[in-house]
Amino acid sequence: MNKKRHFAIVFFIWLTQVFLVRAQDPQLSQMYAAPLLISPAFAGIDNQSNVHFTHRNQWPGLNANYQFSAISANIALGNQKSGLGIIMTSDKQFMNLQTTQLGLQYGHHIDLGEDIRLSAGIQTDLYMRSLDASQFLFADQFRSINYGFISSSNDVFFQDNVANTTIKRSNFVDFSSGALLNLRNSWIGLTAHHINQPDKSIFNGTNDPLNTKFGIQMGTKIIFEDPYLNRTTSNPWANKEVSISPVVHYKKQGKFDQLDMGAYLTVSPLVAGVWYRGIPISKTNYNRESLIFLLGYRLDSFSVGYSFDMTISKLGSSAGGAHELSIAYLLDLDLSRSKRTKLLNSKLACPKF
């Protein structure tokens, strides 16, 4: 085994351990394409039921490739002015660390005025994590130059209830909450994920709490043409929505914080967006991460979106950036006992991608 391979193995193990200790929640570029992942306050909002699918492939040019997939269902309970959310996510880091999330949400919505709605939600999740160390190499697997490589290891990593197993697992329950205030064409939301700070460690005898993540989401929609107000006009743009939606997201988890800011341009059925992810005034390198470009198509009950993250950090373009695909479908479903009731005269102003 040459020196380059030795170095690669050591670096890989070191990088994995760093990521395990400092791992943060997945972050999406098309956050509103899967609003239940933002906050449980979105469950049943706008009195609509829908299904969302999201897949993210980050840094495809590196061995430390990250992949994330999620499917969520938003089920309206219109008569109760509430809704249920169901979330299933899976992510894979370094092809060795796998995390699966199963979540259930409940959201309730209160009309405070003709165009003012307050929404609040709670969420509980079951997380299942596993780490496959079958390809890891430890120091005691190299006896000497004369004896070379041996197959077994006495590293503390393997000191578990199951002797010499190469797959480590851990499960934990998690709680989150969120609130959202919608003012006709503007909104502001607050979220807190991992309120109970569960232990996510996969090693016996260690404690690795998952830091609480706090988030603020805000934005507004500036409408130039509204198809709901111009149905009788001869204007060729009358059946199209033309709007711009500036949006800002801020999140903080432990020592990590991040700011996403950008805008969506909607000329229905097309949506285009540009985002900057980073904190320009921060001296930390990871805070200047990427420029994000989005193109989406939305018509009636169906929408599909694609976004690309162009890396601007020191990681460089060779990492391959990040590709993200979203698909959503609106369902004609209401599980409440009576017919659907409209919560507000105007629809929720949040973007769909």
Burial 305-342 (b: 16+ CB within 10 A, else e): bbbbbebbeebeeebbbbebbbebeeeeebebeeebee
Residue 141, SS3 per DSSP = helix
Residue 271 lies in a domain: yes
232 is written with which tokens?
């009788």
The verdict on residue 351 lying in a domain is no
Assign 5 a pLDDT band (cuts: 50, 70, 90). very low
Give the HSE-up count for residue 249: Cα atoms under 13 Å, Cβ half-sphere: 23
Residue 250 sits in a domain whose CATH number is 2.40.160.40
Domain annotation covers residue 139: yes
User: Is 258 a residue whose pLDDT tops 60?
Assistant: yes
Quickly state the pLDDT bin for 299 (edges 50, 70, 90).
confident
Choice between 46 and 12, residue whose per-residue pLDDT is larger: 46
Q: Which of 141-150, 184-193, 274-283 has the least mean pLDDT?
A: 141-150
Residue 72 in domain:
yes
Residue 317, SS3? helix
- Residue 108 in contact with residue 81, Cβ under 8 Å? yes
Structure tokens at 1: 């085994």
Q: Which of 203, 291, 208 is nearest to 254 (CA)?
A: 208
pLDDT tens figures, 93-135: 866 788 999 999 999 999 998 889 999 999 999 999 988 776 6
Domain residues for the domain of 125 are: 3-331
Residue with tokens 């990681």: 315
Q: Evaluate whether residue 308 is within a structural domain.
A: yes
Q: Is residue 343 part of a domain?
A: no
Encode pLDDT of 197-249 as tens digits.
999 887 766 788 999 999 999 999 999 977 655 555 555 545 688 999 999 99
The answer to whether position 338 is within a domain reads: no
> Is residue 335 a contact partner of residue 63, using CB atoms and an 8 Å limit?
no
Alpha carbon distances (Å) from 69 to 27, 170, 207, 226: 12, 20, 27, 34
158 by Cβ neighbours in 10 Å (0-12 / 13-18 / 19+) ranks as middle
The C-alpha atoms of residue 57 and residue 283 are separated, in whole angstroms, by 27
Count of structural domains, the chain = 1
Residue 296, SS3 per DSSP: strand
In whole angstroms, what is the distance from residue 27 CA to residue 267 CA? 27
Q: Is the CB of residue 121 less than 8 Å from the CB of residue 40?
A: yes
Q: Residue 353 falls within a domain, yes or no?
A: no
